[in-house]
Amino acid sequence: MSASPADLFATDAPTRIMGVVNVTPDSFSDGGAYPDPADAVRAGQLMIDQGADIVDVGGESTRPGAPRVFASEELRRVLPVVAKLASSGVPISIDTSRASVAAAAVDSGALLVNDVSCGTNADLLRIVAERGVHYVLMHSRGSSADMGALAVYDDVVTEVVSELSARLEVVLAAGVPEDKVIIDPGIGFAKTAAHNWALLANLDALAALGRPLLVGTSRKSFLGSVLSGPGEPPRPPDDRDAATQATTVLLASAGVWAVRVHAVRPAVDAVRVHRAWHAAGPARPARPVACRVGPAR
């Protein structure tokens, strides 16, 4: 499934798989998983071997409440990983909201800047425009420390689309070509579980902005909540992969450009199954019959 850099951003291709490598001690799912750059490089290469199309490298946690780190520390974490993977031919996205980190990562071979600040850093936008790389404009409000208090909407779909539209104008005015921009609704960023579900159910409203969509649901807390029973705590992040792949199939059906996931192989399998189903022809209404799960008898 891995795409070459030449066709990675084609909008008429099957849904792409973006693997996540967080080189952080405190990310909500894989924080501390890669204590050494060599561990992160091996993880990124394994994702490509399993079928990922691009690897997203991040050096600062964006989980709710996470404190910021110094730019020098973010650079120390990500640059060796980006440089090594890119030099090996791995398509790389850099997950950052800092211009200095974006510039260094792009100069080391990153093809995409994944900006979780919703395009609020003018210097970062200038770097993207000057370097001619692709750019993810992700909806967010505030920083990781205070975004929970900003998850207040009268109509989350209308307001997120409106805010993204306004920020898209800023991005384009900064000189970033429109055909380089990808939109991300920012699932979990200044949003409650109900907000997340509303956005996922109305992706057509986001697609109306005219840009490809990247969506990241992987292992997020709104999935943990929906999987737990009444009175039970949310399932832990590492027990949310099956639910993540359910959203992967639905997102592939919605035609998104890419999904951002921690577990690559199940996502690749999910997209392959969706492609095979879709290629078989238009679906016909199914009769209401039972579906047995388990070994045949």
Can you tell me whether residue 212 is helix, strand or coil? coil
Strands 181-184 and 134-138 turn out to be parallel
How far is Cα 241 from Cα 54, in angstroms, rounded to an integer?
19
Q: Which of 264, 247, 207, 253 is nearest to 54 (CA)?
A: 264
Q: Is 220 a known active-site residue?
A: yes
Point out the catalytic residue in the list 84, 167, 260, 265. 260
List the strands of the sheet with 181-184, edge to edge.
Answer: 181-184, 134-138, 112-115, 92-95, 54-58, 16-22, 258-261, 214-215
The position carrying tokens 């398509």 is: 91
Point out the catalytic residue in the list 191, 220, 235, 240. 220
How far is Cα 110 from Cα 113, in angstroms, rounded to an integer?
8
How far is Cα 123 from Cα 142, in angstroms, rounded to an integer?
18
Half-sphere exposure of 77 (CA within 13 A, CB side): 26
Q: Which of 84, 102, 82 is nearest to 92 (CA)?
A: 82
How far is Cα 87 from Cα 252, in angstroms, rounded to an integer?
30
Q: Is 260 a known active-site residue?
A: yes
Question: Which active-site residues does the annotation give?
Answer: 220, 260
